[in-house]
Structure 1
């Protein structure tokens, strides 16, 4: 997939560099809307479960269905943006997301809500990768960490506001308002996109991969629905059938991708050193990230007996920690480099999240809050590093395809994290013969996802020592120190 259209070539490099912060803030506004929606929904799940007449763990499908839609439609986002233009697609995606929000607010049942969330996912599938693609095309590699920070800081306001706002809405108003608040944000976002984002198109080198879209959609959708169904004891055969279909479709897609000139998800990208390693290590780590917003509010409300408003105020801590990290990420990466920082912090982040397994009602809330701040700080650094080093060796011609590929697996693993958490929670309940989840069941679920994330250490150590050196600036300080020393030695030799 090529990005060599005339409209792209006419863009002046200096203005692009000057304006990447503006573009980052606009894309972040869309992320703000999406993250606000997700965190509010997680807080409201127990209340919504009572209204729909289902048990609280079954509400995981309200989160999973959205992520499934992302996984199915993100692969085509790069092709659609190249064909119709990034500004047109980005603006339309925000509109679809807003329409899905309205339908979610009108949902009379869990089934209707799932279909509305799928429509929301279609909008989200085009918003995030296309916005990221615009940003990546507008910034030099050496500014990439700073650009990602500009992109993520405003978006982190969504998770910060989400839990308390969601708790207040659920406690004192109707939960349907958690979807209506997306309307003004979405309309403002569409106006800003029209005013400030350039229309850029790319030229594809091959035909549209229609068969690849079908096979990848069947594979990803079946796997995720299968994992979600496996979390319920009475749907074992359905889960096994869906997973089998997903595996078969995935194998067929891999065979198909070897013969198609422009596959939607190109497995050859995994051969690019930092990209492939970042995909694998980041995927394992994102299981914890996906599980956390599902498990923590449920544990606070069902295990601790806290109200939705109080649990929302507690879970805000991880977002605050994430926000605090953005100022120090470039300095840490410049000092230690990507490989050392990712390997060391990956262990710390997983163990900090493991501490959640030991939370109990008699713990002081300030202590729980402090632990969660540290969790958010550490895990946010990990994903900032993964999201930047992944594109270290990606050429401009590969950028569109790589962005779709990376975002697909990012959302896939977030969804899998919810599925794994729900499966572990139900598995523990079954072993202990609990009809409703107890604290010991939540502890078991946290332990499972943390062990999976710790496995990423093996892959973090496989990054090259100089991976992302141009991005992080690691080694420049040492070279600056060595150069004057070498010059002094040469001068001494000459004086002799």
Structure 2
């Protein structure tokens, strides 16, 4: 276990309470995650105002994904060069400016440009916000801090569609973007007050070629995964994914010879980081798929309205929030390895149970099952996002956060791709022109089986992994020399 991951305790004595820092970072992530999902509900109304067809509005979603793909890998290097507070604060300002421009957009073309700008801010907020937390919180408080950080990020995608429906129905779609302004201004002020401006080591020239190669690769992959969930876009999706893989191979060859690559794959040699990335990626297949599958199943299979489906799906958000109360206690008593194995199995099988949902089931029972699914899934991601940095040296923390966030975003999009592919494959095999309940069941089973393989990697964590972070009883913890 590295004894250089965090600065000495004396540096942190004047730091604010870790909950304050975690909530400041969480508010920016909530703003971003809410914005990313709330927009989908408003697309038909926006299409009418812009005098275009609803399918044409998809570019408003994919343009944002493009910015994320290009700039997330560079976020760590930028934070090291200019300081984490400076970059985080600037990211919030850019995101808010982009939101205002989106709200004022008179045409679809203007909206796309504004969404690209908004995505630049979002790409910096996610990994740099996590980096701020890692550099500001003591190891013993890291699990609790990560719980406070991740709950809003998990809740955002769940409550986004209902909030979007409310804005469209009772106000105007432009409020979807205006709501970011007060949150962003408050976040900007709090970051200025509470967050220290820490710079990383200057470890070589900026990897411009790697930046271009990774941007094309990740942008094509994210576009391809996103397109695969849409009817009639299969050929384009396959082409984009192929381009993404080709440029990805080109980037890997380039990175071997660069002294400071934009994405440092040598981090995968660190055992806990590697296990967390792989197990977390497999588990995120389910996390990415369930916001896509569950609302569709409730509306198309059960005949529920969008509003009614939203009220059921919000159970996962409630489960995510209740997790925070026991996360630290569970990890302290059982450690990361055992907790991830048990909670991973229960949470993944819980989502697999969604395959058995039928209209004659009591809605209260479905609500409770989804609540527990949200609880167990949230537990896993808090644990993964914490244990990943257990053996990472402090000098490599910025590279690790941008690397981890890149794969996190990629796998969430892949989850939608896998779910859509499984759904359409079932429809093809059964000769269904419209998705039926059995097709949704097949899709849930496929994503569940994929995520269950994360158990293999969870079992590869050392029994003492993260013992200093969790305070797991009965484990001998090496005391780092200060």
Alpha-carbon distance, 1:313 to partner: 1.6
SS of 1:15 mapped into structure 2:
coil
Specify the alignment match of 1:178 in structure 2. Answer: 176
TM-score (norm 1): 0.86
The answer as to 2:447 corresponding to 1:449 is yes
What does the per-residue CA deviation read over 1:279-311, in whole Å, with 9 as the maximum and x for residues that have no partner?
A: 000001111111212222222233333233222
Once the two structures are superposed, the pairs formed by residues 50-65 of structure 1 within 5 Å of their partners are 53-54=53-54, 65=63
Alpha-carbon distance, 1:66 to partner: 3.5
TM-score (norm 2): 0.88
SS of 1:462 mapped into structure 2:
coil
CA distance in 1, matches of 2:8, 2:339: 36
Question: Which of 375, 383, 386 lines up with 2:384 in the alignment?
Answer: 386
CA distance in 1, matches of 2:47, 2:426: 21
Q: 1:280 to 1:479 in 2, by over 3 A?
A: closer
SS of 1:201 mapped into structure 2:
coil
The answer as to 2:121 corresponding to 1:123 is yes
Question: Which of 259, 275, 278 lines up with 2:273 in the alignment?
Answer: 275
CA distance in 2, matches of 1:449, 1:97: 33
SS of 2:200 mapped into structure 1:
coil
Alpha-carbon distance, 1:260 to partner: 0.7
CA distance in 2, matches of 1:249, 1:340: 38
What does the per-residue CA deviation read over 1:386-414, in whole Å, with 9 as the maximum and x for residues that have no partner?
A: 00110110111111111111111111111
The answer as to 2:13 corresponding to 1:14 is yes
| Cα root mean square deviation, aligned | 2.9
Once the two structures are superposed, the pairs formed by residues 149-168 of structure 1 within 5 Å of their partners are 149-153=147-151, 155=153, 158=156, 161-168=159-166
Once the two structures are superposed, the pairs formed by residues 287-326 of structure 1 within 5 Å of their partners are 287-326=285-324
Question: Which of 93, 96, 99 lines up with 1:98 in the alignment?
Answer: 96
Specify the alignment match of 1:265 in structure 2. Answer: 263
Maintained 8 Å contact 1:67/1:411 = no
The answer as to 2:402 corresponding to 1:404 is yes
The answer as to 2:407 corresponding to 1:413 is no
SS of 1:123 mapped into structure 2:
helix
Question: Which of 177, 189, 207 lines up with 2:205 in the alignment?
Answer: 207
Maintained 8 Å contact 2:224/2:238 = yes
Maintained 8 Å contact 1:301/1:308 = yes
Specify the alignment match of 1:343 in structure 2. Answer: 341
Specify the alignment match of 2:480 in structure 1. Answer: none
SS of 2:163 mapped into structure 1:
helix
Maintained 8 Å contact 1:42/1:294 = no
Alpha-carbon distance, 1:416 to partner: 1.3
CA distance in 2, matches of 1:235, 1:320: 35
Alpha-carbon distance, 1:190 to partner: 1.6
Alpha-carbon distance, 1:355 to partner: 1.7
CA distance in 1, matches of 2:86, 2:371: 38
Question: Which of 411, 423, 426 lines up with 1:425 in the alignment?
Answer: 423
Q: Which has the higher helix share?
A: 1
CA distance in 2, matches of 1:10, 1:206: 29
Residues 194-203 or 208-217, more deviating: 194-203
Structure 2 unaligned segments of length 5 or more: list them. 478-482
Alpha-carbon distance, 1:204 to partner: 1.6
CA distance in 1, matches of 2:300, 2:44: 8
Residues 162-171 or 437-446, more deviating: 162-171
